[in-house]
């Protein structure tokens, strides 16, 4: 990123960006750098979306996403450009709580086993499931039928390893990313490399070509919390003088005009129209669909079909010197995953005090050290699990933690953060749907969309989506000035 450089066609262009999550903030940054004046609208009181801070026992930490996947460069690059320090997890090993025990996680590609010896030693599978998995090297390359342009992750893994691998390994790993179901999530959208391997032959036979998946090499965090990323980005945007951030401002309507667009904006006790030459919608699929209903109806219809999963994060603080705490949580891991087949309420637990040094340091108090951990609850189709009081989610999480680890202490404090409709589901055929959405949006000059609903739910993928949207607007404006088609 450089300084603003008013490019051809960008002078005096006014852009309204709807949505103040990381996608909207990055889109605003890119457009300001291209010479636009940007108004960013965010309906909630703060920017950041799913990157949000909270407090438990006086410790400030993340109650949403807590790390960046660093195999893609966009997230790490943005943090560095903003002058934000980065840290690696101090504990990187995860376990799986299944078949009555906390078991080591064997080497996999998002749950698809890459080392059959590790798989056998882990005890994750029963005898029948292990026999099925061991047949994978003998199978011919996977070939899709003419009717199959895509298939689910679970269908592919079922074919090659058997259903128990899907149930006990793939489900908990995909559940942590999408809060979805393996037999409903598109393999082309979620794990295209897995299908690429299967179409060439045995997945396990090609394991040597798959990059190591130790968590420490994949994830990067920010001291103090990931919530700092949107906060610092927002400050940097305002400092450019080209971006106005207006929180508590909900975009409720979008209309095409002869000169551009009109956006209806509702604030507390007020409603007004904002005009724009260009508009970026960086909102989840449902509100984006509503805003596009008359402007790009075909794209709106496709977006309305994207389902979202609701989840909750329950964060606890315990006295470190409580005899029911230290032994239970000294498992040499950063947490554990839970397959839905085992019928537990939680889907994962993260031992934040062990995973992040800055969390452990934040728990050091004159009255004694506090250990912070958190659980995650909720998958697609499990809305009733979340439709209970906070106290019930806390109690259910504590019960599962006690059974998994032997934890027998009462927390000093607990906090529940609910994420209603927080994670888009990449159903089979998702990539084709996204192509249709983008085609419908591209037919409207000066309009772009971005966010987690399109190309990936992780922070780097969302950043890339925003950068693409901004680049499309800039390219379209330049093409218009040279007499070319806005789509060219």
Asked which of 377, 407, 424 is the last residue of a domain, the reply is: 424
Count up the domains in the chain and report the number. Answer: 3
Q: What is the largest CA-CA distance in the chain?
A: 74
The reported pLDDT for the residue numbered 11 is 55
* Domain around 238: 14-45+226-306+426-481
Predicted local distance difference test score (pLDDT) of residue 331: 66
Residue 258 and residue 235 share a domain: yes
Instruction: Tell me whether residue 329 is in a domain.
Output: yes
Does residue 161 share a domain with residue 113?
Answer: yes
At residue 479, the pLDDT reads 59
132-152 pLDDT tens trace: 999 999 999 999 988 888 999
Residues 431, 302, single domain; the answer is yes
> Low-confidence residues of the chain, pLDDT below 70?
1-11, 213-217, 331, 478-488
Residue 52 lies in a domain: no
Query: Quick one: pLDDT at residue 478?
Result: 66
Over the stretch 5-14, which tens digit does the pLDDT of each residue have?
Answer: 444 444 579 9
């Amino acid at each position: 990123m450089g300084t603003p450089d008013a490019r051809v066609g960008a002078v005096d262009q006014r852009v309204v960006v709807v949505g103040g999550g990381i996608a909207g903030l990055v889109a605003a940054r890119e457009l300001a750098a291209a010479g636009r004046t940007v108004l960013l609208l965010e309906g909630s009181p703060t920017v950041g979306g799913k990157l949000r801070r909270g407090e438990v026992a006086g410790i400030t930490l993340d109650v949403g996403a807590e790390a960046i996947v660093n195999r893609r460069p966009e997230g790490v690059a943005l943090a560095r450009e903003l002058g934000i320090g980065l840290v690696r997890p101090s504990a990187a090993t995860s376990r799986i709580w299944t078949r009555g025990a906390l078991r080591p996680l064997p080497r996999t590609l998002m749950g698809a086993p890459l080392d059959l010896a590790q798989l056998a030693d882990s005890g994750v599978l029963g005898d029948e499931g292990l026999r099925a998995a061991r047949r994978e090297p003998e199978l011919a390359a996977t070939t899709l039928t003419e009717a199959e342009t895509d298939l689910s992750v679970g269908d592919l893994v079922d074919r090659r390893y058997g259903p128990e691998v899907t149930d006990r390994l793939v489900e908990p790993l995909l559940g942590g990313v999408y809060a979805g179901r393996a037999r409903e999530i598109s393999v082309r959208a979620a794990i295209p490399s897995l299908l690429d391997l299967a179409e060439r032959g045995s997945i396990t036979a090609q394991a040597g070509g798959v990059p190591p998946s130790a968590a420490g090499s994949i994830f990067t965090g920010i001291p103090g919390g990931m919530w700092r990323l949107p906060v610092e980005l927002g400050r940097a945007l305002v400092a450019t003088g080209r971006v106005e951030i207006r929180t508590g401002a909900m975009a409720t309507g979008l209309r095409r005009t002869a000169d551009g667009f009109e956006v209806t904006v509702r604030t507390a006790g007020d409603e007004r129209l904002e005009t724009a030459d260009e508009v970026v919608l960086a909102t989840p699929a449902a509100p984006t669909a509503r805003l596009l209903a008359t402007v790009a109806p075909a794209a709106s219809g496709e977006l309305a079909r994207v389902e979202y999963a609701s989840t909750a994060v329950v964060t606890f603080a315990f006295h470190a010197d409580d005899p029911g705490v230290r032994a239970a949580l000294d498992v040499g891991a950063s947490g554990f995953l839970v397959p839905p087949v085992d019928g537990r309420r939680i889907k994962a637990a993260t031992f934040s005090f062990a995973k992040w040094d800055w969390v452990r340091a934040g728990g050091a108090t004159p009255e004694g050290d506090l250990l912070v951990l958190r659980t995650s609850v909720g998958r697609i189709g499990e809305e009733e699990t979340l439709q209970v009081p906070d106290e019930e989610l806390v109690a259910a999480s504590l019960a599962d933690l006690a059974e998994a680890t032997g934890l027998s202490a009462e927390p000093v404090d607990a906090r529940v953060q609910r994420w209603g409709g927080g994670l888009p589901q990449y159903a089979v055929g998702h990539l084709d749907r996204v192509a249709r959405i983008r085609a419908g949006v591209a037919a409207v000059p000066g309009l772009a969309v971005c966010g987690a609903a399109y190309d990936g739910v992780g922070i780097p993928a969302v950043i890339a989506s925003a950068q693409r949207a901004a680049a499309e607007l800039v390219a379209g404006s330049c093409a218009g000035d040279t007499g070319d088609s806005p789509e060219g």
